[in-house]
Amino acid sequence: MDNLFNCPPSYAKSLCRAIIDLKLPLEWGALINPSAPDRELFQLMRQAGGGFMQVGNESGSELVLANLGKGFGRRQVELTFRILEEEGIAYSCFLLLGGPGETPDTVQESVALLEQYHPQLVNLTVGVRIYPGLALHQTALEEGVVIPGDNLLQPRFYLSAAIEGWIWDYLAGVMARHPHWIF
């Protein structure tokens, strides 16, 4: 398992070609970043035994992706899903719900996006872990979610107030429609 297999894509392609050339009978999976969907790379991955990918999309909302500082947008996420499906590669994906700027509308936008595609599994996470020194840490300090001096050794999570009382019932309905979507 590689947590960021397609970064950089040149290395990933080189590795896949080596596996193919050596005729290694491997079956493997990797986590991929949807920032640069690449049909050639996905074809090489499949030929090299890459049969299942986890897409680190986190959201389907342009606003939330920008607020999380993901470095990619909805268009790249959609293209990644589309190419994986066209190339016959099974995949799962993630929804990281509750970050800064998350609202019921952005949550519903993310869910609607994923419902257009066919991931084998959707891993739902509510709340974003706060790590010291990152932009989310500063936001959490400003909003009083954490206090200065908190070393965050015990995990603390940011959850947008706009979805706090709403999200659980909504997700229960989503999971009733999609049994392969899990917490």
- To the nearest 10 degrees (0 to 180), the angle between helices 167-177 and 104-115 is 10
Residue 3 in any domain: the answer is: no
CATH number at residue 158: 3.20.20.70
Q: What is the pLDDT of residue 126?
A: 98
Residue 133 in any domain: the answer is: yes
Residue 49 in any domain: the answer is: yes
Residue 4 in any domain: the answer is: no
Residue 146 in any domain: the answer is: yes
Residue 2 in any domain: the answer is: no
Task: Give the whole-angstrom CA distance, residue 121 versus residue 91.
Answer: 7
Task: Give the whole-angstrom CA distance, residue 12 versus residue 173.
Answer: 39
Residue 168 in any domain: the answer is: yes
* Identity of the residue numbered 57: N
Q: Where are the alpha helices (DSSP H) in the chain?
A: 9-21, 39-47, 62-67, 74-86, 104-115, 135-142, 167-177
Q: What is the pLDDT of residues 134-183, one digit of tens each?
A: 999 999 999 999 999 999 999 999 999 999 999 999 999 999 999 999 99
| Helical (H) or strand (E) element with 81 | helix 74-86
Query: What is the domain count for the chain?
Result: 1
Residue 13 in any domain: the answer is: yes
> Is residue 1 scored above 70 in pLDDT?
no
User: Residue 130 is part of which domain span?
Assistant: 9-182
